[in-house]
Amino acid sequence: MALSHIGFLFVGIANTLLGPVLPLLSERWKLNDTQGGYLFTAQFTGAIAGSALSGALMKKLGVMPVLAAGYGGLAVATATLAFSPWLAGVIAIATLGFSLGLTNPATNLLISELNSERRAAALNLLNLVWGAGAIACPPLISTLAKGGNASRPLGALASALAIVSLALALSHLPSLPVKSDESTMRSESTLRARLNSFVLLTGVLIFMYVGTEAAIGGWIAAYAQRLGATALSYWALTPSLFYAGLLTGRAAASVFLRRISETRLIFFSLIGAVGGILVIILGQGLLTISIGAGLAGFGLAAVFPTTFALFTQRCGAEATRIAGMLFVLASLGGAVIPWLVGWASDFYGNLRIGLIVPLLGTLLMIALQGAIILDFSFTRRKV
């Protein structure tokens, strides 16, 4: 448990690395917004492949070898990115995504199954640690990237990831316990579970969520820079406010869960996220954008861990077979939606218009969560 949480702190840094270093890489490689969007696509395309293979690799090799390999890949990718030209950099970013595709589902499934009585709270705590890493990422870049040189922060991160990989390689963990009880959803076959309406709705919601979070966290620094925050110490820190909102929201989730159900927590959280994104889009200065970023992060905070907790609880033993597909959809959302932001920004000549994409994504998530709530009610009536 402790090793998983320590490692996930660095996953949070690596997962959000591209946002604060994007302006530095764009300057080094002379990229426009559409080309910058391709970097997100490279990262999340790699994550799709990693997620698709993670289930089979865990079954064959075990959890710890897969996690050790994932962290090792993260270390190699960040070290390469520190000095690479354009083509090698794209490959390094894709490798970063592939390694994240291995570590994310393995860690979330592990924590969920080790805390079967309190899945939502445990996963919110795990992702709170991820949020702490995400908050640490922009200050790390702005403090160490003196003169616009990204090699120092990337090298430091690579060293930390290599240490975690070594610690995991030397550790032992029993096979992932998969329990099924009378309250979990049953299916006659894996195919039937995959086609179940709840699984489909959850998959689309996760697709939209990860894409929306990646779009806001990935583009907010560039957006702040274009609105007049020319100092690196100002615009590079705006993603930290977004991830601080995520951190605070996940810390508060356990309190909210004592008063309302998981499904309603997700629904009301998404409404709050819409308000935060509107503040970002309508804001005219760095202060307003910073406030909007924090509100958007707070609103989105509980969505992924609580949704994944409901998924593992309701699907029972089928969750380990379907989780890979869920994380593939998550990675696909991260590949598509940030790119759409960059494309819309180039097409209309305004990044503000591009940020309407995550706003529309959040509105769609509200509709999806409403459908999930109805699906829960219908299932209970049938039972």
Instruction: pLDDT tens for the chain, 383 residues: list them.
Output: 788 888 899 998 898 888 788 878 888 888 887 788 788 888 878 988 998 888 788 878 877 788 889 999 999 999 998 888 888 889 999 999 999 999 988 888 778 777 777 788 888 888 888 878 877 887 777 777 766 677 888 888 899 899 989 988 887 655 554 444 434 444 444 445 444 788 889 999 999 999 999 899 888 888 887 876 555 556 667 788 888 898 899 889 888 888 888 888 999 999 999 999 999 999 887 888 889 999 999 999 999 999 988 888 887 766 666 777 888 888 888 878 988 998 999 999 999 999 999 999 999 999 999 988 887 665 555 54
DSSP state of 148: G
Residue from 106, 97, 100 nearest 44 by CA: 97
Q: Is 184 helix (H, G, I), strand (E, B) or coil?
A: coil
Confidence at residue 175, expressed as pLDDT on a 0 to 100 scale:
52
CA 262, CA 3: separation in Å to the nearest integer? 27
In angstroms, how far is the first alpha carbon of the chain from the final one? Answer: 35
Q: Please give the sequence-ordered ranges of beta strands (E in DSSP) within 92-172, or none if there are none.
A: none
Residue from 59, 85, 61, 91 nearest 73 by CA: 91
The answer to whether the CB of 10 falls within 8 A of the CB of 297 is no
Output the CA–CA distances (angstroms, integers) from residue 138 to 22, 23, 134, 202, in the order listed. 11, 12, 8, 31
Supply the CATH classification number for the domain 2-173+187-382.
1.20.1250.20
Residue from 342, 346, 249 nearest 294 by CA: 249
Confidence at residue 231, expressed as pLDDT on a 0 to 100 scale:
52
The model carries a pTM of: 0.75
Residues 6+ apart with CB under 8 A from 287: none
Residues 6+ apart with CB under 8 A from 99: 14, 46, 50, 69, 70, 71, 72, 73, 74, 77
CA 244, CA 139: separation in Å to the nearest integer? 12
